[in-house]
Each structure stands twice: as structure tokens, then as C-alpha cells.
Amino acid sequence: MGGPMAANLAAAGHDVQGFDPAAPTPDGVTAAQDATAAVKEADVAITMLPNGAILRDVASAVLPAMRRGSVLLDCSTVDVESARAVAEMGADRGIAVLDAPVSGGTGGAAAGTLTFMVGGPEDAFATAKPLFDVMGAKAVHCGPSGSGQAAKICNNMILGITMIATCEAFALADRLGLDRQALYDVASTSSGQSWSLTTYCPAPGIGPKTPADNDYRPGFAADLMLKDLRLAQQAADASGADTPLGRAARDLYEAFVEREDGKGRDFSAMLTRFTRGD
């Protein structure tokens, strides 16, 4: 995700230095020796990291190297507590921190059409807005620190639940002898309509082209959906929210990824779980 985002910033004329120990440096980006070297002269430093623990470690390393008054823009999807802890670390050094997870997958990152859900100070959001405009199609300031992560996990809980429901409906249609295209034509223009159906249909050959038409090679991996659903349930447990469907979705994706054949496949491949043996 971070590679194409950096490439788009460089293509737009921004001076971008980058560091990634596991991926090549994108065209137009100057390779830095390490993370601290990459942020040393930056007005805005952008991170995209796997989880909250790594985010805290990286923030501990790069914040001391950043200039007072600069902005740390974290686009990782992590737990709310880690986002808020890093914001406090930044505030102690006079550095504004924005938690800005994204929606849109690797395709959206490459196309510059991501949606950013942003938490943190409004003035820092204004500073980063020109960068959001290059990397994405929309950026929403959701509130104080942690609000971006809260919006992301709530959004993806909806997505995980509706994708499972869409897959179940196609599997039921198959058993009832209902043509998949007929189901799509009805549900896509009536009360069953959802993004999971009309934009990211899990049934191959139905609706617009999706990962289902490419052998479920991931646009958004089932592993990442499981991560987000676990974060949602972690937040639900911590806040006392009752989310039985979110919990059920987490359990289904956990089984799909860890005990079945979902690992490394798109999250819409959940359909194959319900149609085995048909």
C-alpha cells in the first residue's frame, strides 16, 4: 500500500524520501538509509505499518528525529489505543499525529482513489489535505485522535458482515435453483443492495469485474479482513458494545483463513466456503 501511495506523491511533484525494509523503492522516490533518515527533513512523515505494536516501535524511533511542528500521518490500520498512544508521544515533542487508515485496497492505492478516515487535530488535517488529494479521492476528518481508526474498524465490520450475507445469499440461490444473474438483477436494484454485491460481487461473472473474476487473487485479502474484524471485537469488548454479528463474522473469517483455504485469497472468496460440494 505505501509504495504506490509514495509513487503518486512523487509523480505529483512532491519531494519524497522512503524506507521499506521489505519492498523496493518506487519510481520517483529517493531511498533513505533508514526510517529516521527518511523523516529527518520532512514536513509530513507518512507511515503504513502492519499492527499497533510495530507502529509504537516505529513512532518511538522516528518522532525524536522529526522537526517540531511537523506532522506524522499514520495510514496503518491498528487498534484505537495504539493510535492514541502515538498521538500522545507526538504531542510531547510538538509533533501533530494523524491516524488516517484507508479504504480502497491496493488498487485504490495505485489509482490514487483511496478514502482516508482521519483522526487528530484539525490544523494538522489541513496541512495534510493536499497530500490526501493526491493519494485518494476522499478524506474525512472524523474527530480527535483515534477517530480515524474507530471509523475504519466500524466500516470494515459492516463490510465483513455484508460480504458474508452476500455469499450466503448466492449459495442459497444455487441450492434453490435460482440463477445467480437473476438474483443480482433483483437484489442490486432493491432492498438487498450493498457495496459487497454491486461493486465487489463475490460471484464470478456477475456484475462489474472483481477479484472473483481473477481466481480470487486479493484486492483486499481475507487475512486483512480477519485482522480488522479482530480489531473491531477488541474495541467492542473494551467499550462494552454488543456486536453479535461482528463477532460471528470474525469467527467465520478466522475459520476461513486459519483452518480452511482462505489464507492469501481475496475476502470475497468466502463464497467458496458456502458452495463447496455443490
For 209, list phi and psi in degrees, rounded to 5: -65, 135
Task: Tell me, yes or no, if 209 is annotated catalytic.
Answer: no
Determine the Cα–Cα distance for residues 99 and 101; give it in Å rounded to an integer: 6
Side-chain half-sphere CA neighbours of 27 within 13 A: 4
83 vs 60, 76, 101, 109, CA distance in Å?
Answer: 13, 9, 10, 22
Single-letter code of the amino acid located at 22: A
Cβ atoms < 10 Å from Cβ of 56 = 18
Catalytic residue selected from 152, 209, 227, 263: 152
18 vs 26, 39, 53, 128, CA distance in Å?
Answer: 9, 8, 21, 17
16 vs 19, 71, 127, CA distance in Å?
Answer: 10, 15, 16
Catalytically active residues are 152
